[in-house]
Amino acid sequence: MDKRELAHKLIEHYDCFNTEKMWLDEFDPKVEFVSVCCHVNAPHPSSRLCKDVAKYIRKLLGKNGKDYAIFIGAYYFEPEID
């Protein structure tokens, strides 16, 4: 999966990506890193929404999704350790 495909799937699944309240900023499969930014003039998304987005990103990335460090706004989701 590349950045364009991941961004497209997020736009299709979450309205906040459609309204540009959130957008995929960085996606680097080599270092297993994803960054999602939030619009500064809008209220910060809830922690629940950010957690759901991180979970969805991990699902989209498949078996390696658990290895990614994911930043969403002010939240950081560490790689999942077995």
Tell me: the pLDDT tens digits for 35-60? 999 987 767 888 999 999 999 999 99
23 in any annotated domain: yes
The maximal CA–CA distance of the chain, rounded, in angstroms, is 38
Q: Which of 8-12, 43-47, 78-82 has the lowest mean pLDDT?
A: 78-82
50 found inside a domain: yes
Provide the pLDDT for residue 13: 95
CA angle 21/25/30 to nearest 5° reads: 150
User: What Å distances lie between residue 58 and 40, 63, 77, CA to CA?
Assistant: 25, 8, 10
Domain that holds residue 73: 3-77
Please indicate, yes or no, if residue 12 is contained in any of the structural domains.
Answer: yes
Residue 68 has pLDDT above 70, yes or no: yes
Count structural domains, the chain: 1
Residue 82 inside a domain? The answer is no
Q: Is the pTM of this model over 0.85?
A: yes
CB 12 within 8 A of CB 38: no
> What would the mean pLDDT of 23-44 be, rounded to a whole number?
90
User: Using CA atoms, how far apart are residues 72 and 50, in angstroms rounded to an integer?
Assistant: 6
Q: What is the mean pLDDT of the chain?
A: 92
Contact 64, 32 (CB under 8 A): yes
